[in-house]
Structure 1
């Protein structure tokens, strides 16, 4: 199948997102190797997109934004043999043009990503019956980050976990995953998601001034076993979290306050990623199935058509969008599942 023309949102230089992002029209080629090309139905914006714009994980430019994608397959790579993306073991059948899938855009190997009409996916999975593609597109990065980080922390049943910033999507996912693993969970969050988090089974207290004392009240004065720090960078919060963990910085893992954590001896999740963690070919279908059953979810703050990408970026950059910000390049086919 020949290359196809697509609108893309991408950057050609490093800088603040609004300074460097631009909308362009380019040709998206046939998918290479173990990849598929999709007509994008939905893509989720993440804080990581803005870190990429600012120089995180530097690579060849131009680059796109939007890692989390749901779409309709329109071409498959020459090495594709099954439905399990790059991890093809256990595939059940073949992926064909017209299949509705979700997964991750190849934002490293391609000059554009999911914020586009058409995207190349390097990992993809069928969307189970009962799950809307837009909801499926909320899952990949938040589930992957939360689940793998909890694995690195060796979270075990009965442990008390503090999820700091559980109103952020990784934190929101981590609360649900940790509870499913039998942990006792305390979450710090604002009022928007307090009822949700308590409904999952967490004990919730506001973040901000007085937070350590409130957490101590919930534990009866006992130390926290493990702390997961999930908000966007918030300098100055880690000393309190370390104190809550009995003063042991190795019991605190952050996904965002990298340099402060390294300086204090706390752990940074990306420093410890390693082979042997649950493969995405297991993890993402599992949580998509749970989402289809109503047993796992991530809230959506707002959806925007692709042409309103600036408004979507603005809301995401606000720092507290209250859910996933989603771009919908093409709403057709959303319920073709």
Structure 2
């Protein structure tokens, strides 16, 4: 094995993504023990990429973006015996400890699963962060059969995944969403209402009163947490946010990130393998808004950070990969 050349989208200082990200030419080393190296076929973007650029996880620089990866194994580290060179896998890059991540031609993965037959690389790369975040947060909330759950911001990808996961768990699911995904969420079994004035009254009408639990997913600044707490019977402990951290802490609502840090990170425990199989069978879906060649990363990042990407954005390094 030997280091291989790669383009990599990285930041060398903390700041706004548009200001600090740049395309580098690097050498990706052999994978260390317990790791694999892949030729990246697809890398999903997440809001977390922007937060990494802004300093969410202090650590050594430079650093890459793109936690969610699908690709073909080209090298395995010591102790890895569940995959071999040439296997198609999807999983998570180490965006904190590695000098580059999934937004590259080549990436080191810290966790992976085989891509099941019937699932393409784009769909596989859309799964890891949204599925693990949604599933872990719903488990944290104590969701169970018969629970009435409100997913506020179900048009975002974690919210969209959470609706599907909660319905499969036997919950009664209400969702707030804009017109892009309202119809799709309703067809999947959620009771859907728009955002905006009168939302609380519409939710209570659909639920027949207050709800048991609320998952809050819109980006910071929505200002709806007091309304959501009221919908949960006035109990802030029944509201969990994945995004409005400061406001939630001030109001006594729960912040999934705080409890995630206390628990040591997102556990997988076979969840991704399960949902990849469901996606391959057409029983679970993360909508793809657009794909971009890696060379168009700036356009993709600007859309991702612009507020309403309309689904998952995925980079495709192999589309414009340079000759090796």
> TM class, shorter-chain normalised?
over 0.9
Q: Deviations over 1:118-142 (max 9, x none)?
A: 0000001000011011100000000
State whether residues 253 and 266 of structure 1, in contact with CA within 8 Å, keep that contact through their aligned partners in structure 2. yes
Of residues 159, 164, 168 in structure 2, which corresponds to 1:180?
Answer: 168
Partner in structure 2 of residue 98 of structure 1: 86
2:132·2:266 contact (CA, 8 Å) conserved in 1?
A: no
Q: Which runs of 4+ in 1 moved over 2 A?
A: 273-279
Q: Residue 214 of structure 2 contacts residue 240 of structure 2 at CA under 8 Å; is this kept in 1? A: yes
C-alpha distance in 1 between matches for 2:285 and 2:318: 23
Q: Which of 112, 117, 135 in structure 2 is aligned with 1:147?
A: 135
Superposed displacement of residue 331, structure 1: 4.4
1:234, distance to aligned residue in structure 2 (A): 2.6
Matched, 1:240 2:227: yes
SS of the residue 1:223 aligns to: coil
Match among 211, 214, 237 for residue 224 of structure 1:
211
Question: Are 1:60 and 2:47 an aligned pair?
Answer: no
Deviation at 1:106, TM superposition (A): 1.1
Is 1:23 the counterpart of 2:23 in the alignment? yes
TM-score, normalised on structure 1?
0.92
- 1:91 — aligned with what? none
Cα RMSD for the two superposed structures: 1.4
Note closer, same or farther for the CA distance 1:215–1:300 as it changes in structure 2 (3 Å cut): same
**What is the Cα deviation at residue 275 of structure 1?**
5.2
The answer to whether residue 140 in structure 2 is matched with residue 134 in structure 1 is: no
Determine the C-alpha separation between the residues in 2 that align with 1:26 and 1:156. Answer: 47
Does the alignment pair 1:255 with 2:242? yes
Matched-pair contact (CA < 8 Å) for 1:151–1:277: no
Q: How far apart in 2 are the matches of 1:328 and 1:105? A: 16
Q: 1:315 aligns with which of 295, 298, 303?
A: 303
Query: Aligned runs of 1:118-133 on 2, under 5 Å?
Result: 118-133=106-121
Contact map agreement 2:57 2:96 (CA 8 A) in 1: no
| Residue 277 of structure 1, CA deviation | 9.7
1:271 match: 258
The number of residue pairs the alignment matches comes to 319
Give the Cα–Cα distance (whole angstroms) in 2 for the partners of residues 265 and 69 of structure 1.
35
**Consecutive unaligned residues in structure 1, runs of 5 or more:** 83-94, 333-337
How far apart are residue 79 of structure 1 and its match?
A: 1.9
The residue aligned with 1:90 is none
Matched residue of 2:61: which SS? coil
The aligned counterpart of 1:70 is 70
- Residue pairs, 1:163-178, within 5 angstroms: 163-178=151-166
**Contact 2:136-2:267 at 8 Å conserved across structures:** no
- Give deviations 1:180-219, integer Å, cap 9, x for gaps: 0000000000000011101110000011222111111112
Unaligned runs of 5+ in 2: none
Q: Equivalents in 2 of 1:105, 1:245: separation in Å?
A: 37
CA distance in 2, matches of 1:324, 1:208: 24
